[in-house]
Amino acid sequence: MYFFSHPRFQDHSMGSGHPECPERLVAIEEALKAKALWPQLDHQVAKPVDMKVLELAHTQDLLQRLALPVPLGTYEFIDPDTCMNAQTYEAMLLASGAVLQAVDAVMTDKTRHAFCAVRPPGHHAERAASMGFCFVNHIALAALYARKKYKLTRVAVIDFDVHHGNGTEDILANEEGVLMVSSFQQDIYPGSGSKPKGENMVNVPLRAGAGSAEIASMLEHHWIPQLEGFEPQLLLISAGFDAHREDPLAGLAWTEDDYARITDALVQVANAFCTGRIVSSLEGGYCLDALGRSVSSHIASLLKPSLRAA
């Protein structure tokens, strides 16, 4: 299994005390090492995405604004919670690049699964607007890239971040050849999702406090039947871990075992329809300790030999 990272991911910072902080990636690395998962991963270094490729998912106007230099030691605010420092632009290009390299790796059978430990995250970034800690949308871009480069006709996007993936929905709603299934806590940031924007969107809003029972019902009644009916050729996961009960930014009650259960179910779908092809990319997750444990749980599931396709 490929694991994508880059030292520059930790240079992007939105200021001290900001929850989407460089220490998140340190916590993930430490947890994977503590669980002895780190040496089992095939470590890859991200390369920057080609600017032209980003235009698959974003307007030229947005990309030109993001490319404006930010002076060292200052912050350029996009919204009250989201700002760029001098290194953000490079980190953002590397993050998208990692996810596209991961798509290339699974589509050319170099590996079955890939996890991208990237930041900044991407799922709130809309076609024409950055927002919510996100600048460009790596997973939406990956879906369009995979459709174009590998002529795929059925790409599935799964988003289990606690916040609705409004950006991914904005870019992929009614996009031919794409199905998106997602879960999120209703009525929190960004406030969207209860009314899907396209027929290819399977949105499952969850009430505050929802945990294992609601996840089981969501998998059984919504996600898995929809995914199985779609027969995906590739699974792309927006892997946010802020639905964890210890996360400070939201109010769901998931545990690391729940992330394992969801991942196991997605691996089974991938094994049944596309020789296990899964690309997963980090989105949210702001309690450092819970984030480390949850990512470990997700990756341990992806590494499980018993779930590998024959």
Residue of closest CB approach to Zn ion: 284
Least distance from Zn ion to the Cβ atom of residue 244, Å = 11
Based on the shown chain and the rule CB under 5 A, indicate whether residue 165 belongs to the binding site for Zn ion: no
Beta carbon nearer to Zn ion, 69 or 80: 80
Least distance from Zn ion to the Cβ atom of residue 247, Å = 9
Considering 124, 138, 163, 164, which one is annotated as catalytic?
Answer: 124
Beta carbon nearer to Zn ion, 185 or 297: 185
Based on the shown chain and the rule CB under 5 A, indicate whether residue 284 belongs to the binding site for Zn ion: yes
Q: What is the 3-state secondary structure (H, E, C) of the chain?
A: CEEEECHHHHCCCCCCCCCCCCHHHHHHHHHHHHCCCHHHCEEEECCCCCHHHHCCCCCHHHHHHHCCCCCCCCCEEEECCEEECCCHHHHHHHHHHHHHHHHHHHHCCCCCEEEECCCCCCCCCCCCCCECCECCCHHHHHHHHHHHHCCCCCEEEEECCCCCCHHHHHHHCCCCCEEEEEEEECCCCCCCCCCCCCCCEEEEEECCCCCHHHHHHHHHHHHHHHHHHHCCCEEEEEECCCCECCCCCCCCCECHHHHHHHHHHHHHHHHHHHCCCEEEEECCCCCHHHHHHHHHHHHHHHHCHHHCCC
Rounded Cα distance, 199 and 157, in Å: 14
Which one of 28-36, 76-84, 240-248, 293-301 is the stretch in contact with Zn ion (CB under 5 A)?
Answer: 240-248
Which one of 1-9, 31-39, 90-98, 242-250 is the stretch in contact with Zn ion (CB under 5 A)?
Answer: 242-250
Which one of 52-60, 65-73, 217-225, 239-247 is the stretch in contact with Zn ion (CB under 5 A)?
Answer: 239-247
Site for Zn ion (CB under 5 A): how many residues?
5
Active-site residue 113, yes or no? Answer: no
Beta bridge partners of 158: 181, 237
Which one of 163-171, 210-218, 264-272, 288-296 is the stretch in contact with Zn ion (CB under 5 A)?
Answer: 163-171
Based on the shown chain and the rule CB under 5 A, indicate whether residue 193 belongs to the binding site for Zn ion: no
Based on the shown chain and the rule CB under 5 A, indicate whether residue 167 belongs to the binding site for Zn ion: no
Extract the tokens encoding 279.
């690309």
Pick the binder of Zn ion from 126, 242, 247, 258 (CB under 5 A): 242
Least distance from Zn ion to the Cβ atom of residue 163, Å = 4
Beta carbon nearer to Zn ion, 2 or 159: 159
Beta carbon nearer to Zn ion, 122 or 232: 122
Based on the shown chain and the rule CB under 5 A, indicate whether residue 161 belongs to the binding site for Zn ion: yes
Least distance from Zn ion to the Cβ atom of residue 7, Å = 24
Residues annotated as catalytic (active site), given as ranges: 124
Question: Rule CB under 5 A: which residues touch Zn ion?
Answer: 161, 163, 240, 242, 284
